[in-house]
Amino acid sequence: MAFAARRAAQRGTAFHRCPRAEALAAPITCGKVSVPLDYAHPRGKHISLTVSRIRATGPKARRQGALIYNPGGPGASSMAFPEYAAEDAFRRVAAAYDFVGYAPRGVGRSAPLSCQRPSAYAKAPTSSPPHPTAAFKRRLVARARAYVRGCVRRSGRALAHYTTLNNARDLEVLRAALGQRRLTFVGASYGTYYGAVYATLFPGRVRRMVFDSVVNPAPGRIWYRDNLDQSLAFERRWRDWRRWVARHHAVYHLGATADRVLASYHTARRRLARKPAGGVVGTAQLQSAFLRTGYNDAYWDPAARALAAYLRGDPEPLAELAAPDPAEAADDENGNAVYTAVECNDAPWPRAWATWDRDNTALARRAPFETWDNVAMNLPCAFWPLKPGRPLDVGNLEAVGPRPRTGRVALPPVLLLSAERDAATPYTGAKELWHRLPGSSLVTERKAGTHGLWGGPNDCVNRHVDTYLLTGKTPGRSAFCAPRPEPAPLPEPAPLPESGKQPAAIPGTP
């Protein structure tokens, strides 16, 4: 590891005009950083990570170096992050820092992974029953096995090296290649986990770190139990949306109670099972689209509008909301391949289908909305042919081996952000990491559930982040922010934010 970082520091990173494929305009520039495919053999095969950067806008005397961002996933890219330097929410920080984005290993044009043809991955319409039959479950298992075979066939021996540990090591090489003595990093969602792994492996290299919407890093929860927790939390957020719609029954006419709204949703499910909207929106596409209401309040009004219009006989708004975009099929398939490889390689998963069936059948009685879709996404890990790793004991600096003779290296204070009702990364995960990192500070957005807080509409949260990144000062051991304003029905449809299963995407979006 030290050899790879030293070599990266010597070589540096040359930034030039971005390739057309990145769709990034000047003054953003792009470069590449070479990292070992296998850190056990740092002089062996290398892969290139794509990197983007925009220089700090403030006077040189006030600049503080590079700020690297990761939006989560696993499988998400932050190549577009430098574009956010021009947004009002980020101007103060962008005056002090170069904004640096990158595509982690396997993502985008960074030695991309693939497990199946994008057209096959994006096939629609498909079905998604909340309580599947035995026959559907058999098809689920068959698809998972076939997907694993595709991963092995398309990626070969390289597949074993797409892990959280290697993502953290790559971050250390990137720090060195950028000429930074210590790392300033903001990670969201999964980015909080591999950022915390980095902080455990390289505490002396940490300058400042913000962990936004925190994954539970307890070794026993990575990743099977974290996904069970997530399915349960999404049920609560699904109920939050339905209650909100019910309060605005006069606008949407979907029901005056949360149960009535649910009945309207199930009416739509039954109709789509018989005749997909636009020929491509089946029950699986419906569920995936409405899952976004659990990620970001910005989806609440568009989802309610689309459902109401569909039940009135107009399928176009629902098709616009839920239909897969063929132009995004390759990126979506790539992101899912990386997600699968990292999560399956990171930790042991139950190998017996009976365990998955028992646990998720019981969970679906309490949380039917997301449970079986989460199973479908993660089930390849039951049949993964590679030996899984063991999750790092995050925060245990002794667990990673001997330290220099000068003794234990202290980790500087880091800042954690979490919403109390976050579904993708439930609040218990933030509290777990808070306890594991002595000196860390936890900023909680009360009674809110949007996933990804930095750069959003909560000025209290943004002030804490700005203060920390600009001065290093935290608000003490903990701080609380009032919730953002609840969404209001809009007079006309608003542009939709980006979203996905995980990640948190770019700051201020789900």
Residues noted as catalytic: 189, 422, 451
* Radius of gyration over every alpha carbon of the chain, rounded to an integer in angstroms: 22
- Amino acid found at 48: S
Cα 21 to chain centroid, rounded: 23
Q: Helix H segments across 325-437? A: 329-346, 353-366, 371-378, 427-436
Distance of alpha carbon 290 from alpha carbon 284, whole angstroms: 10
Please name the residue that has the structure tokens 């950022």.
195
Please name the residue that has the structure tokens 């390689």.
345
Contacts of 491 (CB under 8 A, 6+ apart): none
**From the CB of residue 122, how many other CB atoms can be counted at a distance below 10 Å?**
18
CB distance 436 to 168 below 8 Å: no
Distance of alpha carbon 10 from alpha carbon 258, whole angstroms: 60
Q: Which contiguous run of DSSP H or E holds residue 444? A: strand 441-445
CB distance 63 to 96 below 8 Å: yes
CB distance 288 to 324 below 8 Å: no
Distance of alpha carbon 481 from alpha carbon 173, whole angstroms: 36
Distance of alpha carbon 335 from alpha carbon 47, whole angstroms: 18
Contacts of 293 (CB under 8 A, 6+ apart): 237, 238, 241, 299, 300, 303
Distance of alpha carbon 141 from alpha carbon 382, whole angstroms: 9
Contacts of 265 (CB under 8 A, 6+ apart): 242, 290, 307
φ, ψ of residue 223 to 5 degrees: the values are -110, -10
